[in-house]
Chain A
Amino acid sequence: MNTKFAPRYYTLALFILLCSIPWLLTDQGYAIRVLTLLLLFAAMAQSWNIVGGLANQISLGHAAFFGIGAYTSTILLIRFGLSPWFGILVAMLLAGLTGGLLSLPTMRLRGHYFALATLAFGEVMRAIANTWSSVTGGPVGISVPFSPNAGLEMMQFKSTIPYYFIMLGALTITSSIFWKISHSKLGYELRAVKANVDSAEVIGIDTTRTKIIAAVISAALMGACGVLYAQFNFFFDPDSAFSLVGISIRVALICIIGGIGTVFGPLIGACFLLPLEEIFNAFLSGKGAGYSQLAYGVILIIIILLEPRGLTTLFKQAVQRIKP
């Protein structure tokens, strides 16, 4: 019984630690800002994990849903003065719908072909956002207007700390949804689909429906993260909101490095990758262009070669070795 409940205590301890960080790091504005983005990226990676981890469909186009979310709530706020709390619902609806529609032609694709098709879709969305200036503002980007009655009801704060807790909430919610799904009927169905589509069909699983539902949930959560990013950053343009490298690939990498298909993989991956990026940028960017990316790439390759199942597995193996 003890071992069964132990993970619960670890999770609770981790949650309390994450909640207390703003008080442990007072007057560390930069660190809090990095951690806030880290939590957001962990939440995004967890959204991606539903399709990437459970169904093993490696999407490289999740920036599409992120961008749809960011633009939807911001345009609703600028044009109609609607609170982002309402905008987030519309954003999730639109992103979820897009995710569902995209899954119709792509669900039969496997492996690299699925990755390439989703990658192309993300790039198409970026092109649309760049050219459809009357709605998106085009390549110059779009600013979230600072509301005079800033505060919780407009999801706007002067301090970084409330954002930190919003992102922590996002990670908690996406992780709970991931956990719930992986232990539900849908989770078993997704893992069956991942292992063998024909065999899953034959034993009575509607594989088409299963894939669509997962795609919709994953895209909707990613859209919500886009809204949070817009409110946190106050400015974005098509190239950042629909970024292939900055969003799509990074989110997939966080999950793969951390441990694909595991509930803690996204947080572990984000805790590893984002600070690593910061450190390399700070120490190597002065040494010449490209050094930081080179070193970053080398480390990722080493981890994948060492253990393709990611840091979660490496960590578990290390613990097993230490235990008597």
Chain B
Amino acid sequence: MTNKESNRILWTQGLSRNFGGLSAVGNVNLSVKSGELLGLIGPNGAGKTTLFNLLIGLTKPSSGEVYLEGEKISGLKPHQICRLGMIKTFQNVALFPEMSVLENVLTGGLLRASVDEATVLAKDSLRKVGMLEIANKKAADLTFPEKALVEMARALCTKPRVVLLDEVMAALNETEMDHVLDLIKGLRDQEGITFIVIEHHMRAIMNLCERIVVLSFGQVIAEGTPLEIGMNPEVISAYLGTDTTAGELH
């Protein structure tokens, strides 16, 4: 095993998922290093969220495998994968609306702790994301940026090794976005958490990520540093459309 391979925390082999005749994710071979900040971008409908769901077990692959820290996890249920250390946040935020912020976050701690211990963990997670002062608010009453941060705190409360963030920065203003970017970098630096981030906001992704993977029609069409990706003609055509890709759409 080469040094590069031993350092990777998550990888996939020929990961594919078809919905009917449509290939939502096709033959994706992803390799993520431990502690990496990886961006996942692509046009709408490129299969980014489906890829996340395949990784955490919400969707079963049609073929291919997922490995987390050397262990095959494809076929496991999401709660088992969460126990092994990988979690995602939902694109439109999926808090439990009737619960308070604190209860939401502590529920994330219950897989490794009692209610009392999870409450302590939850307060700690809320402090990390800067949301401790709204701990007693009802989740349904939060603004979208608050909800996004609380869901991140809930994810942290499960003590993850790999966190998949699905458009956590959508609908944030510039200041809020800077806060989240610092937060993610801080968590990576201090706790060694690996992040894969789906984001449409290019400034955020270029600023945050060390490497970017571009999906289009379920396929990886490019991979590289933000600079390389920004100048890749295939990526530009995938986003802006060419005659051929526009033709495929119809």
Q: A interface vs B, CB < 8 Å?
A: 183-185, 188-189, 191-192, 195-196, 198-207
A204 touches B98 (CB 8 A): no
Judge whether B77 is part of the interface by a CB distance below 8 angstroms: yes
Judge whether B127 is part of the interface by a CB distance below 8 angstroms: no
B77 touches A201 (CB 8 A): yes
Which of B10-18, B78-86, B142-150, B204-212 is found at the contact surface with chain A?
B78-86
Q: Quick one: closest A residue to B105, CB to CB?
A: A203
B115 touches A188 (CB 8 A): yes
Q: Please, how many angstroms separate the alpha-carbon atoms of A44 and B56 in the complex?
A: 40
Q: Which of B95, B106, B107, B114 has the most CB of A within 10 A?
A: B107
Q: Quick one: closest B residue to A184, CB to CB?
A: B115
A203 touches B158 (CB 8 A): yes
Q: Which residues of B contact A191 (CB under 8 A)?
A: 96, 98-99, 107
Q: Please, how many angstroms separate the alpha-carbon atoms of A195 and B114 in the complex?
A: 21
Q: A184-B115, A203-B107 are in contact. Are A198 and B94 (CB under 8 A)?
A: yes
Q: Which residues of B contact A192 (CB under 8 A)?
A: 96, 99, 107
Shortest B32–chain A CB gap in Å is 18
Q: Please, how many angstroms separate the alpha-carbon atoms of A21 and B90 in the complex?
A: 53
Shortest A108–chain B CB gap in Å is 13
Q: Which residues of A contact B78 (CB under 8 A)?
A: 198, 201-202
Judge whether B65 is part of the interface by a CB distance below 8 angstroms: no
Shortest A250–chain B CB gap in Å is 26
Q: Give B46-81 interface residues, CB cut-off 8 Å to A.
A: 56, 58, 77-79
Q: Please, how many angstroms separate the alpha-carbon atoms of A188 and B110 in the complex?
A: 9
Q: Please, how many angstroms separate the alpha-carbon atoms of A251 and B88 in the complex?
A: 39
Q: Which 8 pairs between the two chains have the least Cβ-Cβ distance?
A: A204-B111, A204-B82, A199-B94, A195-B96, A201-B78, A203-B108, A202-B78, A188-B107
Judge whether B155 is part of the interface by a CB distance below 8 angstroms: yes
A188 touches B58 (CB 8 A): no
A202 touches B97 (CB 8 A): no
Contact residue among B99, B108, B115 (Cβ-Cβ distance under 8 Å from A204) = B108
B99 touches A195 (CB 8 A): yes
The number of residues on chain B lying at the interface, defined by a beta carbon within 8 Å of a beta carbon of chain A, is 28
Judge whether B87 is part of the interface by a CB distance below 8 angstroms: yes
A201 touches B58 (CB 8 A): yes
A-B contact pairs, 7 of them (CB 8 A): A192-B99, A198-B94, A200-B107, A201-B58, A201-B82, A202-B82, A203-B111
Q: Quick one: closest A residue to B98, CB to CB?
A: A195
Judge whether B123 is part of the interface by a CB distance below 8 angstroms: no
Q: Which residues of B contact A205 (CB under 8 A)?
A: 79, 107, 110-111
Q: Quick one: closest A residue to B56, CB to CB?
A: A202
Judge whether B199 is part of the interface by a CB distance below 8 angstroms: no
Q: Which residues of B contact A204 (CB under 8 A)?
A: 79, 82-83, 87, 108, 110-112, 158
Q: Which residues of A contact B58 (CB under 8 A)?
A: 198, 201-202
B94 touches A188 (CB 8 A): no
B99 touches A203 (CB 8 A): no
Type the 1/0 row for B98-130, where 1 means its CB is closer than 8 Å to any CB of A: 110001001110111011000000000000000
Q: Quick one: closest B residue to A193, CB to CB?
A: B96
Shortest A201–chain B CB gap in Å is 4
Given contacts A201-B82, A202-B88, 6 further A-B contacts (CB under 8 A): A201-B58, A201-B78, A203-B158, A204-B79, A204-B111, A207-B79
Q: Which residues of A contact B94 (CB under 8 A)?
A: 196, 198-199, 202
A203 touches B82 (CB 8 A): yes
Q: Which residues of A contact B161 (CB under 8 A)?
A: none
Contact residue among A196, A198, A200, A203 (Cβ-Cβ distance under 8 Å from B155) = A203
Shortest B186–chain A CB gap in Å is 22
Q: Please, how many angstroms separate the alpha-carbon atoms of A183 and B90 in the complex?
A: 26
Q: Which residues of B contact A185 (CB under 8 A)?
A: 110, 114-115
Shortest A107–chain B CB gap in Å is 14
B97 touches A195 (CB 8 A): yes
Q: Please, how many angstroms separate the alpha-carbon atoms of A204 and B111 in the complex?
A: 6
Q: Please, how many angstroms separate the alpha-carbon atoms of A192 and B158 in the complex?
A: 15
A196 touches B83 (CB 8 A): no
Q: Which residues of B contact A199 (CB under 8 A)?
A: 90, 94-96
Q: Which of B58, B79, B83, B97 has the most CB of A within 10 A?
A: B79
